[in-house]
Amino acid sequence: MTFRRRPIPRSHDYPESSLRYTAILAGSVRVYPDGREVCVDSLAGWREYKRRVKVMLERQGGHCSLCGKKLALNHATFEHQRRRGMGAAWRDDRIVKDGQDWNRAAHWVCNSAKG
């Protein structure tokens, strides 16, 4: 006899602000007190994430930051300067930090090989 479990419902109603972060861009990005920006797991957050990848790709002249080969937008992903370890606790989705280019775009294959 098998029991069917109900999946845990996921709520995507993110609060505008919290003691830990404030929300910008209609709630699609969280800004933490240390300045990190993190695109949330929602449709609006995903669109903002892809928009940032597109900006980085244009900034790089359409080339991968790791291998230097041509890179199409549909194969591009974030190549974070600072690792996203600890369950992405230090993730930073900014593309400019202190007036300098911060993160870059890379092939998802190159990025996963990097680790």
pLDDT digits (tens, 9 = 90+) for 73-105: 888 988 887 665 555 567 888 888 888 888 888
DSSP 3-state of 76: strand
CA 18/CA 12 separation, integer angstroms: 15
Backbone φ, ψ for residue 110 (5° rounding): -60, -40
* β-strand partners of 31: 22, 37
Which of 12-21, 24-33, 105-114 is the least confident region?
12-21
Q: 7 falls in which pLDDT band (50, 70, 90)?
A: low
Rounded to 10 degrees, what is the CA torsion of 101, 106, 112, 115?
-30
Distance from the Cα of residue 99 to its chain's centroid: 19
CA 75/CA 66 separation, integer angstroms: 13
Domains belonging to the chain, first-starting first, are: 22-84+91-114 (3.40.1800)
